[in-house]
Amino acid sequence: MFVIPTIMTAEELLRKAFRRASKVQIRDPDYRFRMQKLNKAKVDSFASVIDTALERYVRAFPSFDNLPPFYIALIDLLEPIDDIKRMLGRLEGARKQVLSIQAKTVRQINRTAKPAYMDLKRNEAFGRISSMIKELDEDLKHLNVVREKLKQLPSIPTSHPTIVVAGYPSVGKSQLVKMMSTADPKVASYPFTTQELTVGYFEENRTRYQIVDTPGLLDRPFEKRNNVEKQAILALTLLSNTCIFMVDPTGHCGYTIEPQLELMESIADSVPEMDLILVINKSDMELPEGVDKDSIRRAAEKLGDRIVRTVEVSAASGEGLEELREVVMKTLIMHEEKPWENFG
Ligand SMILES: Nc1nc2c(ncn2[C@@H]2O[C@H](COP(=O)(O)OP(=O)(O)OP(=O)(O)O)[C@@H](O)[C@H]2O)c(=O)[nH]1
Ligand SMILES: [Mg+2]
């Protein structure tokens, strides 16, 4: 998602600048002019290595104020954005100071006829710039760590109507995303789960709809989550307004229906921004004794209008998926909040 070049440490950066400055050569038969040109050129090349590197680093980071809220929320979890901004601000400040030391030193060298004074001024400039860069070392190292973290961010478009899929393990979430997608689902990393998010797409009336499978995120009661996980889940609400909550009433997933319905309530309570579509999966299979679909529907009715619809499907055979697709599109479009319209 965010491609940022490797950030050199202060020592590496200075070594590069000194190496570049030491290679400068000037031809001029006049000794004084030669020394003048040589010293100016060395200062210029030294400063320019640092100027270029620092400018490149600052520019490579995203401009945080223009990012979609989904990414702002995720980045903020990985590393407080205010801290990143402060570090980048110090890099930018140092860069400007380097340029002003450079300009001042060149003027001083221009104004003197004494080669010894030129050397002195050049060395002074090198010294001042070096100590400034050394002071930046901690920021440079830290930004390199931030860079690694930003690399883990998922690349999920924020401009398509989006629905997320929740439910206990093995209820058939991935199967559903696969069956509902017309194109090959994409895989995106999500820094807060060991698994990767699968993102599927289908198109209707020239609109591209996005379905996000959330393994390891929305498959346990919200209350049992640590803070970072909670925030990571809430970030999904900045992408979507509706969640497919899938249950498997057959027990083949390894869980009875009761804890599954409790999880649904827990998500409805803890994530008030999200409406839910209850999907009862594996309609091609027998129900165990004592379980019937009407009682599941009744449990859903307890949640009132937070459950916009209940649909029975078989993600394996495809039964009910046409209806589900219609429900998904309508729900996304009718919802007041449309996160994907805020940012292109
Ligand atoms: N008979 C039947 N099997 C299904 C159906 N949907 C999914 N399955 C099977 O159920 C198992 C679990 O399906 P997955 O799609 O991997 O479930 P999941 O919810 O993504 O599981 P996790 O990623 O572990 O959370 C697989 O063996 C699927 O083939 C269905 O409608 N009918
Ligand atoms: Mg899965």
Domain finish residue from 130, 151, 172 = 151
Q: Which atom of ligand 1 is nearest to the CA of 252?
A: 10
The answer to whether residues 180 and 110 belong to one domain is no
Q: Do 69 and 197 share a domain, yes or no?
A: no
| Distance of CA 326 from the midpoint of ligand 2 (Å) | 23
Closest Cα partner for 49 from 15, 25, 76, 17?
A: 17
Q: Assess whether the C-beta atom of 170 lies below 6 angstroms from ligand 1.
A: yes
Report yes or no on 157 lying in a domain. no
**Residues 285, 334: one domain?**
yes
Structure tokens that stand for 239 in this block: 């992408």
Residues 121 and 258 reside in one and the same domain = no
Q: Residue with the nearest Cα to atom 10 of ligand 1?
A: 172
Residues 277/242, Cβ–Cβ less than 8 Å? yes
Report the number of distinct structural domains present in the chain: 2
Residues 180 and 118 in one domain: no
Using the mean position of ligand 1's atoms as its centre, give its distance from the Cα of residue 281 in Å.
9
281 pocket-lining for ligand 1 (C-beta < 6 Å): yes
Hey, whose CA ends up nearest to atom 21 of ligand 1?
170
181 found inside a domain: yes
Residue bearing the CA closest to ligand 1, atom 7: 172
Same domain, 111 and 238: no
Q: Within a 10 A sphere around the Cβ of 229, how many other Cβ atoms?
A: 17
Cα→Cα distances 340→2, 34, 161, 182, 308, Å: 20, 62, 6, 20, 20
What domain range includes position 64?
Answer: 10-151
- pTM of the full structure: 0.86
Same domain flag for 47 and 78: yes
3-state secondary structure the chain: CCCCCCCCCHHHHHHHHHHHHHCCCCCCCCHHHHHHHHHHHHHHHHHHHHHHHHHHHHHHCCCHHHCCHHHHHHHHHHCCHHHHHHHHHHHHHHHHHHHHHHHHHHHHHHHCCCHHHHHHHHHHHHHHHHHHHHHCHHHHHHHHHHHHHHHCCCCCCCCCCEEEEECCCCCCHHHHHHHHCCCCCEEEECCCCCCEEEEEEEEECCEEEEEEECCCCCCCCHHHCCHHHHHHHHHHCCCCCEEEEEECCCCCCCCCHHHHHHHHHHHHHHCCCCEEEEEECCCCCCCCCCCCHHHHHHHHHCCHHHEEEEEECCCCCCCCHHHHHHHHHHHHHHCCCCHHHCCC
Domain check: are 129 and 169 in the same one? no
If asked whether residues 74 and 199 sit together in one domain, one would say no
Of 168, 170, 219, 263, best ligand 1 pocket probe by most atoms within 8 Å of the beta carbon: 170
**Quick one: 196 and 332 in the same domain?**
yes
Which among 106, 130, 151 is the end of a domain? 151
**186: in domain:** yes
CATH code of the domain in which 74 resides: 1.20.120.1190
Q: Is residue 5 part of a domain?
A: no
CA dihedral 213, 216, 218, 221 (to 10 degrees): 170
Instruction: Tell me whether residue 30 is in a domain.
Output: yes
pLDDT in tens, the chain (344 residues): 788 999 999 999 999 999 999 999 999 999 999 999 999 999 999 999 999 999 999 999 999 988 999 999 999 999 999 999 999 999 999 999 999 999 999 999 999 999 999 999 999 999 999 999 999 999 999 999 999 999 888 889 999 999 999 999 999 999 999 999 988 888 888 877 778 889 999 998 889 999 999 888 888 888 888 888 888 888 898 999 999 999 999 999 999 999 999 999 999 998 888 999 999 999 999 999 999 999 999 989 999 999 999 999 999 999 999 999 999 999 998 887 888 887 65
Is residue 300 domain-resident?
yes
* Ligand 1 atom having least distance to the Cα of 175: 15
Same domain, 169 and 305: yes
Ligand 1 atom with the shortest distance to the CA of 219: 25
Q: Residue 202 is part of a domain; what is its CATH number?
A: 3.40.50.300
Q: In ligand 1, which atom is closest to the CA atom of 282?
A: 31
Query: Where does a domain end: 151, 183, 214?
Result: 151
Structural domain includes residue 204: yes
Same domain, 134 and 275: no
Say yes or no: CB of residue 93 within 6 Å of ligand 1. no
Determine the residue type at 30: D
